[in-house]
Amino acid sequence: MARINFEQLKTFLNVVRLGGVRRAANALNLTQPAVTARIKNLEDSLSCELFDRTSGGMKLTKRGELLVAHAEKFEQLSELVEKDVVEPGGIEGRLRLGVSETIAQCWLPELVTALHDRFPKLEIEFNVDISVNLRAGLMDREIDLAVLLGPVSDFSVNNIDLPGFPLAWYAAANGGAELDPAAYLQRPVLTYARHTRPHRELKEMLFERVGPDVSLFPSSSLSACFRLVEADLGVAVLPRVLGEDLVAAGRIVEFDPGWVPGPLSFTASYLGEPKSHVTETAAQLAREVAVRFFADKNS
């Protein structure tokens, strides 16, 4: 029997878990031919077929099912070696980080810095998106760690709670002031993007407290919302930590209509299998950085 390497086993497990070559290739940042070649080389090394290939997809053979258990043991052993033996400064690889825009505008730079200090050889790849897309990327194994409006309610996901973001209502500083703060809500209301929890919750509260004729303008960009508020094109309820500097600069004003949605709750979420010391450490660092960020803001 030819020598088996761990990359082949890792590729095999990804094909099994994700249900096909294409999704495994995306998760591993490889081409589909490269994944196919690794599986073929593994089968040649073992002198057996691991998958039944049909028009309906790839199904494990009996020997393929046996290999899964052994490959997972190799995977767990490799993770223990990386965690207990390898110095953090020597750990290489790639961490795919997905964050919501709220996080990107607050403490993402501090998190990337902390990760680089802990794992200087680690390649950190990150993208900013709405939470529904980040959740999908996490479940498809295209993201290793998602910092999003959570938690992600799935048995396979570990969630670490992060400090929440209190919200506040904002209007243009140079717009017409209302004697009754509740009257501001007769103006267009800029909200989070559709298909997000903050949008749904705010829509329900506005319909209940203001009425069905309220005008909602959804946006996937918080910075755009603040610019539109400043231009007096509407009002918005947004994270107070992001609005403080604009209020201090006299560009927008805060108002109180008598109610405000609850704070935005974020989690650092990652898949529990396969276990990854780097991803777990990154999630813990996210919490440490977030706690420190708000402590500095409140000091």
CA distance 16 to 23: 10
Query: Can you state the angle between helices 21-28 and 6-18, rounded to 10 degrees?
Result: 120
Is 6-84 a domain of CATH 1.10.1200.10? no
Q: pLDDT for 73-83, tens place per residue?
A: 887 777 676 66
Q: pLDDT for 90-99, tens place per residue?
A: 567 889 999 9
pLDDT at position 86: 53
Q: What are phi and psi of 172, to 5 degrees?
A: -65, 140
Mean pLDDT across the stretch 94-113?
A: 93
Domain boundaries, the chain: 6-84, 90-164+265-298, 167-255
Position of tokens 């959740």? 135
Q: pLDDT for 197-234, tens place per residue?
A: 888 899 999 999 888 888 899 988 889 999 999 999 99
Mean pLDDT across the stretch 179-191?
A: 89
pLDDT at position 128: 92
- In the CATH scheme, what is the homologous superfamily, with its name and number, of domain 90-164+265-298? Periplasmic binding protein-like II (3.40.190.10)
Query: Burial, 56: exposed, middle or buried (Cβ in 10 Å; 0-12, 13-18, 19+)?
Result: exposed
Mean pLDDT across the stretch 2-19?
A: 83
Instruction: Compute the mean pLDDT over every residue in the chain, rounded to the nearest whole number.
Output: 88
Q: pLDDT for 46-75, tens place per residue?
A: 889 999 887 777 889 999 888 888 888 887
Mean pLDDT across the stretch 181-188?
A: 89
Cβ contacts of residue 279 below 8 Å, gap of 6+?
95, 144, 145, 270
Identical fold at 90-164+265-298 and 167-255? yes
**Which fold is adopted by the domain 167-255?**
D-Maltodextrin-Binding Protein; domain 2 (3.40.190)
Q: pLDDT for 123-155, tens place per residue?
A: 899 899 999 999 999 998 889 999 999 899 999
Q: Which two tokens stand for residue 292?
A: 């420190």
pLDDT at position 30: 86
pLDDT at position 84: 59
Q: From residue 296, how far is each of 62, 107, 289 by CA, in Å?
A: 57, 11, 11
Q: pLDDT for 278-289, tens place per residue?
A: 899 999 999 999
- Tell me how many helices (H) and strands (E) the chain has: 11, 12
Angle at 206 between CA 204 and CA 211, to 5 degrees: 105
Q: Checking DSSP bridges between strand 235-239 and strand 145-149, what pairing results, if any?
A: unpaired
